Amino acid sequence: MMNSQTESSDPFAGERLKESPFHPRQAALNLRNAWSSWNGYKFADYYYDEEYEYFCVRNSCATYDICPMQKYIISGVDAEAMLDRMVTRDITKLKENRVTYVCWCTDEGRLIDDGTIFKLGTDKFLLTCGSPSLAWLRKSAFGFNQMKIEDASDTIAGLSFQGPTTCEVLKRMGLEGIDQLKPFCIAHFSFAGSEDKPLMVSRTGFTGDLGYELWINPSLALSFWDALYAAGEDYGIQPYGEAATNMARLEAGFIMPGMEFNEALKTIHYHYDQTPFELSLDWLVDFKKPHFNGRTALMSARDTGSEYTLIKLDIEGNKPAEESFLYADEGCIKEIGYVTSAMWSPVVKANIALAMVKTEAIKDSIWAEIYYTKELRHHSKVAKCKVQSKPFWAPDRARATPPAAF
Amino acid sequence: MKKYDAIIIGAGHNGLTNAAYLAKAGLDVLVVEKNEYIGGAAVTREMHDGWFYSSCSYVCSMMRQAIHRDLNLTKHGLVLVPYLGTVVFADNGDTMTSYHSEEAEYNQLRRRSPHDADAMFRFQADLGRYAQLIRKTLLRTPPDPTSFRPRDIRELLWLAKQFWSLGEKELYEYIRFFTMSAADFLDDYFEDDLIKAAMASPGVIGTALGVYSPGSAYVLLHHVMGDVDGNVGAWGLARGGMGAISNAIAGSVKEHGGEIRTHAGVDKILVKNGKATGVVLENGDELYANIVVSNMDAKRTFTQCMDKDDLPPGIYEKAKNFKIRGSSGKVNIALSGLPKFNNVADNRYINRGGQGFVGSMETLERAYDCWKHGRWSDDPFIESVIPSAWDPTVAPPGQHWMSNFIQYCPPQLADGPWTPEKRDAFGQTVVDKIERYSPGFKDLIVHMEVRTPHEIEAEVGLTEGNIFQGELTIDQLLFNRPFPGYAQYRMPIKNMYMCGSSTHPGGGVSSACGANAAREILIDLKRPNTVPEDDFYDE
Amino acid sequence: MDDYDNIIIGAGHNGLICATYLAQKGHSVLLLESSSHVGGLAATREFHPGYKVSVAHSLSHFSETVASELNLSAHGFNPSGETLETIGLNLQGTPVVLSGDQISGVSTDDAEKYSEYLAVLKRFAKVLKPFWLKTMPRIGHNTVSDLMTFGHLGLNLRMLGKKDMGEFMRVATLPARDLMDENFDNDLLKAVLSWDGLVGSKMAPRSPNATVLNMLYRMSGKDHGAHSLPEGGIESLINALKMAAVSAGVEIQTNAAVSRIIVDGDENGLKATGVELADGRKISAIRVISSADPKRTFLNLVGAKNLEIEFTNRINRLRCDGYVAKLHLALSDLPMFTGVEKPCGRMIIAPEMDAIEFAFDHAKYGEYSDSPVMEILLPSVKDSTLAPKGCHVLSAHVMYIPHSLKTGWTDHAKEALYQTLVQTLERYAPGITKHIVHGELMTPADLEQTFNVTGGHWHHTELAMDQMLMMRPTYEAGQYSSPVKGLYLCGAGSHPGGGLMGGPGHNAAKEILRAEKKR
């Protein structure tokens, strides 16, 4: 995206962050000027109040700018084979207009990143992920000659639209049949009188709730925003930022790079990165496939077992166990792990956390040593933790087709 | 006649560091320096009214923080300030800016190559991993692999453990990296030539290797493994110029009762019955000490300041064969204003930082080819920085001092010895090149000082003007530095030690060589060791 | 049921050696060769009616162990007792001549130093010699025998004594130029001695890290690196290897180009199960062993889709571009070289190390020098069957001719290089031009085409420190096995490397037999 200033007129242009196609509208709503950054884009931490935005996701509907997300179009006869070898899941089973969640590993079976693959046509896929991955994609594509990789990060605008009223709002926008779109499916719609269906909708998201991701050409971004917000006006539409996303994804039990895992290609220390098994992503690794990257290493990792495993914890009390150490005993003598993400869940009314725990210690009791402050006084407490096997928040409406109106 | 506990020859930063640690341990030390000022190559000199040049070394990243704190250097006036931003220039006038912010840096790289912008993350992680391992060895005495002494075996095992902890794959990668050329190494990551040239250029600074020469990848690391307050790869300026570092260490020497004598060039090291007993100065004075420590390079120490007959057989030859090749020049320029560069935004953060006139991989390599032929390139690689933009003490307000480091400049010319005319012609080549990227640059020049290897050697005493006191190739690193069997700072003559960059870990203003040598001396004297063994790195 | 126990791709000397070792142990072996004859780069070919030559024109370190274990002498291989002189040609006067431990054409000082130098290098070569014929173990997951290999190396180093050991660890990575400058004064001598550290590589006298190791590798032969021509020429070695293979029961098929290695997969992962030939035939085997270069093997025959991503990229990044061109001249008479009585030795045109260095500089940019450096041999002097009566064959290794010429290897470019080479020869051997009946120039690109070797590289991939020992061709394929089950390597791209030595073929066979026993 071009900055509003050009290099010649602004000597600091090179230092400034890029602005998303939705920026003018989002900037107007960012009352606190709470900007941080993501992949070189200016990006909202929150717009008005993170808890309010979080409740919009859980209670009405809200939009999250996913333009800075990395998008790659992989097309050609070899595209499927190339992706299938790269990721741990079987892509050959993916049907057209379907989306699947995938992860990919180094030769050593360490997690590089996770993302989603959209099958747009027989030989055409869209890969979206959180971090720049072009170098790895190129490496992965070496030897596959009949395909190409297009970095569409700046040429596809994306808006994640999440919350219980989203389907209703999209219906009001005139997206016919949207209520029939099943989870992980894709549909295409015309927009602004255009016949070639420039609007792509996938029933996907990062909140664990009913929601859609909306994809459109950047040139249509602002008019699309206006149409969506007009339709959502009576349904509590609101932009939400990084802070609310982080709350919603934690309730849904989704992992984040830099929190739950360290991207293997950026890891300095030996084995400070993780295998999918350590992250409880076993279900993503399909050993029925004869070959995929890291298979041999993952095979032996599976057989040896992981030293640590990522688990979900329900912790007594209401003090978030952020950065807490975990122990096997109330006396905090035997250290068995640490919390990666933690919060008080407003909808579930539970003190929840994701944690890396020594695999052998999971079945026994787990205690968290929690530090908190009260009016600048620092306190600590030891709280009992319960291992939770299901996501903390997984409402039926997230899977219902057609979804209920509210 | 007074007899000192130790005489240290050469008041460069390593000699001073060595003296400071020995004095701190209660020894009566004397540092003798041939020039009328101290600092060796870490020096600040007023070469033109109101302009203070760091005439030789000009930036600093390797200074060990443990030593900085240990010797109270802040109290003695040392402040290291990181500087921001570097612009590199391509042959065709393209520029690429390195920004302080990682996100801005990413966007900048992405403009040239989205692939490379992504690859940079991995490159940084890999380099960080390599640097981390080497950094841990900087303040340790290299083990002797041929020895069975418990300490050597313990240190060898420690070293092996560090390698081991990389994991099998990274161990291989490490060996690859250590032996490859910068060009091959970078080809593993990048596709854009300017990005590669920008990354490769540190791999040839100060060394008689080209970017295509195997071994240059390590030199690259040697230049980026430093850090300023834990920011790996960051470069710092010493407030008041590089001399501030030497002056601060000298302050520490004096604080602990050490003596520094300038204008006291050493003619010979005195040896009696196979033991070093003192030095003879150029003026004929003899000074005596229980221990003599040379901060001069190995070649100069053994081939010029000692009698061949005083040395055990073979040492003279080893010293003669020690590779210490002049390959760099330096042009210090006083400017009446801040130069403006083509295709560089008028941005206070970047146009005051560093400039790298790298051209391209081929331009870098061709400059090396010229060096091999005994001439300087018409299109040399210049690494510049304008410290006055950050440091108010080195030039009059509104005026500037620009440091230009040139790779390559041959120690001997094919067409005969260096003359003042040739030196000036070399300087003119540099100015002409900068003018190409900064029209009007010449008009800003108030004063200019040109240093070829010839001048650097004459003034600082570095053989051939080699900034590292010896090439950083595997045959001269770790337990091979300066020679196999003598890497533990003890020299073949009893009571004689070396503490200069000819010893492990090599060149750079790190103070590590001087400190490590002090540790060995204190061990030999059975005194409590006060020298730190690491630089606050957590495992 | 598989058709064979082993299919070996490529009947170069390493393929032949590996096949024979396996067949001797009762394995069924099918050896497939794409061309019409065996021998690869060592095959003797008629390049002009009546004139024959092989690309590899002399022997320096063919393994004695292999020769005796395969009983090659029974099959007509008789390594000549007499070594070839190495002659540094000198336009100004007396050449430098090295003959075994003897030296002439240099000062007495240099001559004395030469014997010291040779003694030291021989001691160093001895340290490494056992390891050229061993699998270099992975670092990390070590078995007892792996640890013993490392222990053995450590012990050999220690046995050198403190001084030599220290010196070895310094000299091992020294650029050839420094080693020469440390020892000698005579420029021509330095150039000639550094030659064997450089020839066949993309390294020059100033390049650190691998040239001395290359020299020590070549010094592992029985004559400590001195070259020789067996009775009956190189052809006799290849014939003996072929006879040994056939008599051990190896089935050799020529004109049988392999188009791919068949890799099958199931829940147990991937396994190489056979090969498909260019003519569409499919042949199955318990294992497939490739003596083709690593790039060809993995990238062309196995395919990236059957390999791991970083492994594929490491293979792709192997430095496989050759920098040696071959010049073959059919001569109507014996040429005479300035200062040389009879041109029966290995003659080197490289007046000083700078000449080599500067010739190399051009190659870095995809150009070649107007003053090329080369090694010349007239094999017909020793073996009259190579040329019609009274006529001769000249074979030259011309260094620093890039595989990828910046302007492309057009006919015009080749002709220009040919003329440059002939003119250079004419300077050293006045009158040679008029004896030329026919000339053949093979650039590295031609060698690639003719011999199916990626980049036309002698050693399949550069013998540099990062591509040596357990990292040859790259880790995870450094022990002859590969990430694909059932697929093995036995070519020059594996430890210890190429140069008509036989190590890879020997080591691969041993490794395969060992793995079989373990099962």
CATH class assigned to A70-151: alpha beta
**What average pLDDT does chain B have?**
93
The closest CB to that of B179, out of C165, C209, C361, belongs to C209
Interface touch B485/C163, C-beta < 8 Å: yes
Kindly report the nearest CA distance between residue C484 and chain A, in angstroms: 10
**How many Å apart are CA B119 and CA B102, to the nearest integer?**
13
Kindly provide the b/e burial profile for residues C107-133, where b requires at least 16 CB atoms within 10 angstroms of the residue's own CB: eeebbebbeebbebbeebbbbbbebbb
**How many Å apart are CA C210 and CA C174, to the nearest integer?**
8
CA A287: distance to chain centroid?
Answer: 25
What Å distances lie between residue C251 and B425, C291, C502, C512, CA to CA? 71, 16, 20, 19
Nearest CA in chain B to C478: B172
Interface touch B115/A37, C-beta < 8 Å: no
> Does C215 score more than 60 pLDDT?
yes
**How many Å apart are CA C342 and CA C354, to the nearest integer?**
28
Average pLDDT rounded to a whole number, residues B184-213? 95
The token pair that represents B312 in the structure block: 């055990």
pLDDT in tens, C403-422: 999 999 999 999 999 999 99
Nearest to A364, CA basis, from A329, A315, A324:
A329
Chain B: list its partners (3+ Cβ pairs within 8 Å): A, C
> Does A251 score more than 50 pLDDT?
yes
Average pLDDT rounded to a whole number, residues B13-18? 98
Nearest to A137, CA basis, from C249, B115, B261, B56:
B115
At the topology level of CATH, where does A307-393 sit? Answer: Elongation Factor Tu (Ef-tu); domain 3 (2.40.30)
Contact C241, C63 (CB under 8 A): no
- Res B76: pLDDT: 98
Which residues lie across from C228 on neighbouring strands? C59
Is the dihedral angle over the CA atoms B514, B518, B519, B523 positive or is it negative? positive
Interface touch A270/B347, C-beta < 8 Å: no
Alpha-helical segments (H) within B462-528: 512-524
For C208, residues 6+ apart whose C-beta sits below 8 A from its C-beta are B209, B213, B214, B215, B473, B474, B475, C173, C174, C175
pLDDT class for B230, splitting at 50, 70, 90? low
pLDDT in tens, B116-128: 999 999 999 999 8
- Res C518: pLDDT: 81
Interface touch B213/C208, C-beta < 8 Å: yes
Nearest to A320, CA basis, from A292, A342, A348:
A342
Which residues lie across from C330 on neighbouring strands? C393, C438
Interface touch C178/B168, C-beta < 8 Å: no
pLDDT in tens, A56-96: 999 999 999 999 999 999 999 999 999 999 999 999 999 99
C145 vs A237 pLDDT, higher one? A237
> Does C164 score more than 60 pLDDT?
yes
Q: What SS3 state is found at B115? A: helix
Residue spans per domain, chain A: 17-69+155-252, 70-151, 307-393
Residues of C with Cβ-Cβ distance to A299 under 8 angstroms: 269
Phi–psi pair at A36, nearest 5 degrees: -130, -150
Q: Which residue has the tokens 């510049």?
A: B384
Interface touch A142/C305, C-beta < 8 Å: no
A-C contacts (CB, under 8 Å)? 55
Kindly report the nearest CA distance between residue C263 and chain A, in angstroms: 10
In chain B, which among 311-370 make CB contacts under 8 A with chain A? 345-350
Nearest to B404, CA basis, from B432, B367, B363:
B432
Average pLDDT rounded to a whole number, residues A325-331? 98
pTM: 0.96
Residues of A with Cβ-Cβ distance to C316 under 8 angstroms: 142-143
DSSP letters for A127-195: EEESS--HHHHHHHHTT--S-EEEE-TTTSEEEEEESTTHHHHHHHTT-TTGGGPPTTBEEEE--TT-T
Nearest CA in chain C to A265: C310
Tell me if domain A70-151 and domain A307-393 are identical in fold. no
pLDDT class for A4, splitting at 50, 70, 90? very low
**How many Å apart are CA A221 and CA A157, to the nearest integer?**
7
Contact B41, B460 (CB under 8 A): yes
The token pair that represents A140 in the structure block: 């992965």
Kind and range of the H or E run holding B174: helix B168-179
Contact A74, A83 (CB under 8 A): yes
Note whether B172 contacts C: Cβ–Cβ < 8 A.
yes
In chain B, which among 76-115 make CB contacts under 8 A with chain A? 97, 99, 101, 103-104, 106-108, 110, 114-115
**How many Å apart are CA A345 and CA A244, to the nearest integer?**
11
Interface touch C267/A287, C-beta < 8 Å: yes
- Res A366: pLDDT: 98
Average pLDDT rounded to a whole number, residues B346-368? 89
The closest CB to that of A134, out of B118, B124, B170, belongs to B118
- Res B269: pLDDT: 97
Interface touch C267/A288, C-beta < 8 Å: yes
Is the dihedral angle over the CA atoms C140, C144, C150, C154 positive or is it negative? positive
- Res A283: pLDDT: 97
C-interface mutation test, from A296, A299, A300, A304, most C Cβ less than 10 A away: A296
The closest CB to that of C465, out of B169, B179, B188, belongs to B179
**How many Å apart are CA A109 and CA C227, to the nearest integer?**
48
Contact C208, C8 (CB under 8 A): no
Helix axis angle for C353-364 and C176-183, nearest 10°, is 170
Interface touch A291/C311, C-beta < 8 Å: no
Interface touch B372/C354, C-beta < 8 Å: yes
- Going along chain B from its start, the domains and CATH numbers come out as 3-45+59-80+240-322+470-524 (3.50.50.60), 84-113+328-409+412-451 (3.30.519), 123-230 (no CATH)
DSSP letters for B411-455: SSBTTBS--HHHHHHHHHHHHHHHHHHSTTTGGGEEEEEEE-HHH
**How many Å apart are CA C222 and CA C33, to the nearest integer?**
30
Note whether A151 contacts B: Cβ–Cβ < 8 A.
yes
Give the Cβ contact number of residue B421 at 10 Å: 8
CA B529: distance to chain centroid?
Answer: 26
**How many Å apart are CA C391 and CA C332, to the nearest integer?**
5
Residues of C with Cβ-Cβ distance to B187 under 8 angstroms: 317
**How many Å apart are CA A155 and CA A219, to the nearest integer?**
9
In chain A, which among 225-254 make CB contacts under 8 A with chain C? none
Give the Cβ contact number of residue B485 at 10 Å: 21
**How many Å apart are CA B362 and CA B370, to the nearest integer?**
12
pLDDT class for C277, splitting at 50, 70, 90? very high
pLDDT in tens, A174-223: 999 999 999 999 999 999 887 789 999 999 999 999 999 999 999 999 99
For A360, residues 6+ apart whose C-beta sits below 8 A from its C-beta are none
**How many Å apart are CA B57 and CA C373, to the nearest integer?**
41
pLDDT in tens, C235-247: 999 999 999 999 9
Contact C442, C451 (CB under 8 A): no
**How many Å apart are CA B14 and CA C287, to the nearest integer?**
61
> Does B47 score more than 50 pLDDT?
yes
pLDDT in tens, A9-26: 788 888 899 999 999 999
Residues of C with Cβ-Cβ distance to A296 under 8 angstroms: 269, 308, 483
**How many Å apart are CA B89 and CA C85, to the nearest integer?**
52
CATH class assigned to A17-69+155-252: alpha beta
Lowest mean pLDDT among A246-250, A290-294, B201-205: B201-205
pLDDT in tens, B125-144: 999 899 888 888 999 999 99
Chain A: list its partners (3+ Cβ pairs within 8 Å): B, C
- Res A5: pLDDT: 37
The closest CB to that of B175, out of C354, C358, C471, belongs to C471
> Does B1 score more than 80 pLDDT?
no
Is the dihedral angle over the CA atoms A327, A328, A330, A333 positive or is it negative? negative
Work out the angle at residue C299's Cα, subtended by the Cα atoms of residues C296 and C305, and round it to the nearest 5 degrees: 155
pLDDT class for A3, splitting at 50, 70, 90? very low
Nearest to B245, CA basis, from B382, B57, B415:
B57
Kindly report the nearest CA distance between residue A301 and chain C, in angstroms: 15
pLDDT in tens, A330-381: 999 999 999 999 999 999 999 999 999 999 999 999 999 999 999 999 999 9
Residues of C with Cβ-Cβ distance to A143 under 8 angstroms: 299, 303-305, 307, 312, 316
B-interface mutation test, from C120, C139, C162, C209, most B Cβ less than 10 A away: C209
Phi–psi pair at A193, nearest 5 degrees: 75, 0
> Does B221 score more than 90 pLDDT?
no
Interface touch A14/B114, C-beta < 8 Å: no
Contact A12, B85 (CB under 8 A): no
Q: What SS3 state is found at A302? A: helix
Which residues lie across from A98 on neighbouring strands? A185
B-C contacts (CB, under 8 Å)? 99
Q: Which amino acid is at C317?
A: R
pLDDT class for C143, splitting at 50, 70, 90? confident
- Res B232: pLDDT: 62
